[in-house]
């Protein structure tokens, strides 16, 4: 069912996308409305300046409209939009620092995730500790691994789509993902074991 609804989403996207390419303003407005929140969430990982993120999304759509004649009619919409926003933000962040204004933190160098632990879903203390530990480990991951984890598990994108967004090969995506998960599991076990041992002795 999940898979069904996703492909349903995709085909809706595709219809709107092609209407937009033929110059339909209403379809274009719909396209922007549907994807705005996802793009905003993704963009905020690269910059804390929410207004900059909003401006970037606006710029992105203005560019899309201008070059609609040259866009690929078969593009998979969501990954394409995410990829375009990523490129645009990295480009404008580097030109910002080139001009000498803007923050020293380069958008290309951060990928900020923020988690919270909702305790009502947890019934044992050991699970709570495990969850907190996992949160810490996630935040410590290098930024590219974090981004892969985000796109894979929180945006539910495929390996190929992630590779398009991050402009790396699908193999690199798999590698990054594997390293990240290995890291999360390995440390987690070790930490959990120490915690457990300490508890035994207390």
Partner 1 sequence: MDRYQNFTVEDFVWDSFFRQWVLSPTSETDKIWQEWLEKNPESRLKTEQAEGIVRALRLNEPQISDPEITRIVKETMGRIETAEKYPSFEEPATQRKVHHFPWLRAAASIAFLLISAWIIYSLSNKKAAPEIAVNAPIIARQAGLIEKLNASQKPMTVVLEDGSKITLAANGRIRYANKFVAAKREVYLEGEAFFDIAKDPERPFFVYSNGLITKVLGTSFTIKAYGNSNEVTVEVKTGRVSVFPESDPALNQKTSSPELQGVVLRPNQKIIYSREEVRMVKTLVEKPEMVVAKAEIPQFEFEDTPASEVFDTVGKAYGIEILYDEELLKDCPLTATLENQTLHEKLFIICKAVESDYEILDGQIVIHSKGCKN
For partner 1, the closer CB: 37 or 74: 37
CA 108 – CA 106 distance, rounded (Å): 5
Q: How far is the CB of 36 from partner 1 (least distance, A)?
A: 5
For partner 1, the closer CB: 32 or 83: 32
Q: Total binding residues for partner 1 by CB under 8 A?
A: 52
CA 81 – CA 95 distance, rounded (Å): 21
Residue with tokens 């984890």: 149
Q: How far is the CB of 128 from partner 1 (least distance, A)?
A: 8
From the list 25, 139, 193, 197, which residue makes contact with partner 1 (rule: CB under 8 A)? 25
158-183 burial string, b = 16+ CB within 10 Å, else e? ebebbbbbbeeeeebbeebbeebeeb
190 binds partner 1 (CB under 8 A): no
For the window 3-22, what string marks contact with partner 1 as x by the rule CB under 8 A?
--------------------
CA 20 – CA 30 distance, rounded (Å): 9
From the list 117, 167, 190, 193, which residue makes contact with partner 1 (rule: CB under 8 A)? 117
Residues numbered 67-96 forming contacts with partner 1, rule: CB under 8 A: none
Q: Name the 3-class secondary structure at 147.
A: helix
Of 106, 91, 101, which is closest to residue 47 (Cα–Cα)? 106
List all residues 6 or more positions away from 184 whose beta carbon is below 8 Å from its beta carbon.
134, 137, 138, 141
Q: How far is the CB of 110 from partner 1 (least distance, A)?
A: 14
Residues numbered 27-56 forming contacts with partner 1, rule: CB under 8 A: 28-29, 32-33, 36-37, 40-41, 44, 50-51, 54-55
Locate 151 and state its tokens: 């796109």
Q: Name the 3-class secondary structure at 17.
A: helix
114 binds partner 1 (CB under 8 A): yes
Interface ranges with partner 1 (CB under 8 A) = 1-2, 25, 28-29, 32-33, 36-37, 40-41, 44, 50-51, 54-55, 57-59, 61-62, 65, 99, 113-124, 127-128, 130-131, 134-135, 138, 150, 152-154, 156, 181, 184-185, 188-189
């Amino acid at each position: 069912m999940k898979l069904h609804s996703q492909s349903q989403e995709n085909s809706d996207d595709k219809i709107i996308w092609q209407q937009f390419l033929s110059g339909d303003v209403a379809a274009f407005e719909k396209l922007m409305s549907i994807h705005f929140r996802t793009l905003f969430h993704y963009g905020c990982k690269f910059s804390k300046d929410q207004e900059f993120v909003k401006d970037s999304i606006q710029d992105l759509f203005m560019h899309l409209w201008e070059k609609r004649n040259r866009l690929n009619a078969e593009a998979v919409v969501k990954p394409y939009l995410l990829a375009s926003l990523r490129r645009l933000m990295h480009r404008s962040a580097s030109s910002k620092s080139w001009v000498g204004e803007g923050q020293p933190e380069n958008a290309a160098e951060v990928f900020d995730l923020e988690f919270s632990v909702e305790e009502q879903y947890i019934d044992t203390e050991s699970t709570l500790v495990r969850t907190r530990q996992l949160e810490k480990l996630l935040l410590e991951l290098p930024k590219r691994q974090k981004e892969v984890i985000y796109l894979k598990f929180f945006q539910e994108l495929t390996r190929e789509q992630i590779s398009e967004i991050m402009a790396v090969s699908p193999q690199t995506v798999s590698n990054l993902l594997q390293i990240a998960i290995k890291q999360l599991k390995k440390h987690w076990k070790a930490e959990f074991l120490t915690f457990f041992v300490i508890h035994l002795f207390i």
